[in-house]
Chain A
Amino acid sequence: MAGKENELNQGFLEEAAELLADLETGLLELEGSPGDAEILNKVFRTLHTIKGSGGMFGYDDIAAFAHEVEALFSLAREGKVAVTPDILTLVLNCRDILHAMLFDPEKALGEAARREEAVAALRRAAGPGASPGGGAVSAPPKSPAGPGGPADQGGPETRVSRVYRIRFLPGADLLEPEALVREVEALGECRTISTTPPPDAPADARPSWDLVLTCASGIDPIKDIFLLAGDDSLVDIQALEADPETEGPRLGQILVSRGDVSAEQLAQALEGKPRIGEVLEQEFNVPPQAVASALAEQEALRKAAEQRKTVQTMGTIRVSEDRLDKLVDLVGELVILQARLGRLAQGRVAGDRQLAAAAEDLDQQFQALSGPGKPLAESGLDEGLERLMELSGARSGQDRVLSGVSEELGRLTDDLRYYILEMRMLPFGSISGKFRRLVRDLSAELGKKVELTVLGEDTELDKTVIDKLSDPLVHILRNSIDHGVEPPEERQQRGKNPQGRIVVQAEHSGGDVLVRISDDGRGLDEARIRAKAVEAGVLEEGAVVTREDVLGLIFRPGFSTARTVTGVSGRGVGMDVVKKSIEALQGSVALDSRPGEGTTLTIKIPLTLAIIDGLQVRCAGENYIVPLQIVNECVDFRANGAAGQGSRQIFNHRGEVIPYVSLRSYFRLGGEAPDMSKIVVADVKGRRVGLLVDEVVGQCQTVIKSLGQVYRHVRSISGASIAADGSVVLILDLPYIHQASVRHTGGEHGDSRQN
């Protein structure tokens, strides 16, 4: 079953990607607090998992390589190797190698030497500490606890010990269970409580053991011992979290967790006992405020711990993106279907009203003609009429129910859509790990000191937006570090903190997300940009331009003011790409820079790309959508016989001259424009521009779909959507259309690819 295997493999790769991301985060955290045992443990566990699952899925080389890294961290955890920035760099490098091995095998093949080098470096770093009995490289070895300590090489006290709770009920066939227990006892410090069966128990009853083992060798050796216990023995091994910050669980809690005492029994036993605080207050004259304060602290600690716990245990399911997309598609369909049902129901209700009115009319006419002696008396029509009225009443009753059902369906569909879109939301923090790494590596490379602060990591964005936001942000950060933040000496000269500061902040603002990247570097050099612009022929010498406009020039393609081209940036690819990709996300970039104080870029993007508010327009019988976000107003337009040729023209709107594009001639749709048409005035790159269409249909919420690869070359269309009648409607890329029509002034545009 190759398919199955593939799926498993895919699962492993997904898991591995996450693990590697965790590893990176952990390593970077470690940089901030090198001695933190918790982070060290986390990193170690991550490495261990990579090794384990790698081996399980047949990635032996990955398992072997991860093992080398793990070995180093095992020593670090024991305090035998100090976690220096150099070691972190080495291990980060190893992480990259692992990443390449998993996701870019070709590249990894070419990097065999790099891998060997890394392994050698790892072994060097592990140093003599790696060999048994060797002295520790750093970490002050405390005096050993004295003889009789656990049989372990090196200083046992420096190892991270863990507590394991083992419950062992040997199976009937197991000979000498005591031997196993003794083996376990030999692993470390162990308290053993054996329960022999009561005298009146059946003859085949076996004793059982509860062991509490404190050892540093990990859970595996314990498991290994019990491998011999056989299938019908009951073995339960649990690693207990010994949180160094708290005094550990209480006796009662332990008893409850072992299932020896029920929670109720514990509560009963504790009831009526004075609290320790009360005892202290009464017996030792401890001031009640002190006790109250201590209690508050206890409460706070408990809450924090609980919160951590909930975060950890929040249930998650891994769902592939495809499935979510499918779900979004289906809900989109449902929305459309519901809209159709709604229209049908409305139509029926309106029809019912007319029907009732018609029946009423008929009845009145009949009454007028059916009195005694009138022509229609005795005609029997009255019965027919009565029946008609009845039917009409019944019908309108049913249709009221129908429209009720339709409304209810509408509400459900809205909810459904909301929750499904919410499922696609990811926190901004999911990409910020990447930034930390970038800042770390790049600042080291450039000999700068940069501190990165990421704020608003829990701000949620649609997965597609997040994915597409990552690259532009990396570009911007590169620029900030390379051009913005000065070298430490220069900063010092200017009286700044030698360490530069970059803040990335994400926050919600209405239906948009704002991402702000600010540095406290030298700011943009207006004079230099101006000079460069003049040199490039973009700007005329001595032209009067606002500072804002000059700074805006950095978004032009091929514009770079970096004096030297570094491997990092300065090749003039960058800001224009950033701007383009943000605009492709229906977003915008704003720039603010003060000389000597720093630069702030503010990116504004919609929360989700899946749905936008659109304005539906019609032209030559075809429907199109303009993103409502950029629409200012719709203006009546009377075709003027004297209008110029081509798709791009200008019109005068309340004294303002606005250039506009006629969609009909731009797309060469043919047909005659109606006498009265509309111009949609929109904001494109800070300028008001118009789009001449036949008719404005109205606003709509629309689910954006891609046109796919076949139409990748079609730049004037940014996507498609499904209209309420089930037809596909194209979404216009107005900024591009305007740009293109400027280029092809005279209306050279159209099916240009025809030949």
Chain B
Amino acid sequence: MAIPGRTEAVAPESGAEDFRPPGGRKDEAGGERLLFRLGEELFSFPVSSVREIVDVRGITHVPESPPFMIGVINLRGRVVPVVDLRLKFGLPPGERTPDTRVLVAEAQFPGEQVILGVLVDGVVAVDDIRGQDLAPPPELGAGVREDFIEGVGSHKEGFVIFLHLDKVLAYEELTGAATA
């Protein structure tokens, strides 16, 4: 499943500095995935949708917005909204650690492509893993809505839940138009 040597090529855990994933768009359930942690569990997004990974710095809270929209950051002059994925998934709030990162991802909103930040507990790896179109074992992905999950894959660090980025970061989800 994992292609040896792939992980070394790009940012491993706590690879600290910003990095940009290599090009090559493979959006199928598989291909290169960016693995990250929420608590003890592993999740992944397609690498092609993640623009860069940045350290957490000065998040400005925006009032009148759902609690999982924790605010906005300044990404080189651009105001980027940040979603706390733990809160979005209904998990208890996490502590900020030196591993906490913001994934800067591209999402499709009605009529435009937007840039969003996704707060995660840590980035694990970028790996080429195959997902299986299976429902995750019940002990995995607790609290994560089923329609957010695309499949499950396995990695040397453990099972990985493949997330539907476009569904998790859909306009209705983030504006609270849908029931969270």
Contacts and interface: CB of A to CB of B under 8 A. Distances in A.
B60 A753 contact: no
A710 interface: yes
B57, B64, B76, B116: residue with the most chain A Cβ atoms closer than 10 Å = B64
A131 to B, nearest CB: 49
A247 interface: no
A729 B58 CA distance: 10
A708 B176 contact: no
Given A722-B77, A728-B74, A710 B58 contact: no
A707 B116 contact: no
Nearest to B176: A753
A20 interface: no
A90 B57 CA distance: 61
B150 to A, nearest CB: 23
Given A727-B58, A728-B72, A730-B60, A713 B175 contact: yes
Contact of B175 (A667, A668, A712, A720): A712
A421 to B, nearest CB: 15
Contacts of B81: 707-708, 710-711
B66 interface: yes
B64 A710 contact: no
A710 B74 contact: no
A330 interface: yes
Nearest to A717: B62
Contacts of B73: 728
A705 interface: yes
A710 B77 contact: no
A709 interface: yes
A752 B64 contact: yes
A708 B174 contact: no
A715 interface: yes
A710 B69 contact: yes
Contact of B79 (A706, A714, A715): A706
Interface in A728-755: 728-730, 750-754
Interface SS, A side? mixed
B62 A707 contact: yes
A711 B171 CA distance: 10
B98 interface: no
Given A329-B78, A707-B72, A709-B109, A667 B114 contact: no
A726 interface: yes
B79 A705 contact: yes
A332 interface: yes
A753 B67 CA distance: 9
A725 B73 CA distance: 12
A710 B67 contact: no
A726 B63 CA distance: 20
Given A709-B109, A722-B77, A727-B58, A717 B171 contact: no
Given A710-B81, A710-B174, A712-B175, A720 B72 contact: yes
B65 interface: yes
Interface in B166-180: 171, 174-176
Contacts of B174: 710
B175 A726 contact: no
B63 to A, nearest CB: 4
Interface in A318-348: 329-330, 332-333
B49 to A, nearest CB: 17
Contacts of A717: 62-64
A668 B62 CA distance: 12
A622 B109 CA distance: 29
A729 B78 CA distance: 12
Contact of A720 (B64, B79, B116, B171): B79
A716 interface: yes
Interface string B13-45: 000000000000000000000000000000000
B95 interface: no
Nearest to B112: A709
A622 B175 contact: no
A726 B79 contact: no
B61 interface: yes
Interface string B146-173: 0000000000000000000000000100
Interface string B102-117: 0000000100101010
B64 A714 contact: yes
B65 A751 contact: yes
Contacts of A330: 77
B79 A708 contact: yes
B147 to A, nearest CB: 20
A727 B74 CA distance: 6
Contacts of A709: 109, 112, 114, 171, 175
A398 B81 CA distance: 41
Contacts of A729: 60
Contact of A715 (B57, B64, B74, B109): B64
A622 B61 contact: yes
Contacts of A715: 64
Nearest to B179: A755
B107 to A, nearest CB: 9
A710 B116 CA distance: 9
Nearest to B115: A708
Nearest to B177: A713
A704 to B, nearest CB: 10
Nearest to B73: A728
Given A706-B79, A707-B79, A720-B79, A713 B64 contact: yes
A667 B61 CA distance: 11
A726 B59 CA distance: 11
Contacts of A754: 66-67
A711 B65 contact: yes
Contacts of A727: 58, 60, 74
B166 to A, nearest CB: 15
Contacts of B58: 725-728
Contacts of A711: 62, 65, 69, 72, 81
Interface in A542-589: none
B66 A753 contact: yes
Interface in A586-608: none
B61 A714 contact: no
A410 B66 CA distance: 40
Contacts of B116: 710
A716 B74 contact: no
A730 B64 CA distance: 13
A716 B61 CA distance: 13
Given A329-B76, A714-B64, A720-B72, 5 more contacts: A705-B79, A708-B114, A709-B175, A712-B175, A751-B66
Enumerate the 5 nearest inter-chain pairs by beta-carbon distance, A residue then B residue, closest first. A727-B58, A329-B77, A333-B77, A728-B60, A667-B63
28 contacts: A329-B77, A329-B78, A622-B61, A705-B79, A707-B79, A708-B114, A710-B65, A710-B69, A710-B174, A711-B62, A711-B65, A711-B72, A714-B62, A714-B63, A717-B62, A717-B63, A717-B64, A720-B60, A722-B77, A725-B58, A726-B58, A728-B58, A728-B73, A728-B79, A730-B60, A751-B63, A751-B67, A753-B176
Interface of B: 57-58, 60-67, 69, 71-74, 76-79, 81, 109, 112, 114, 116, 171, 174-176
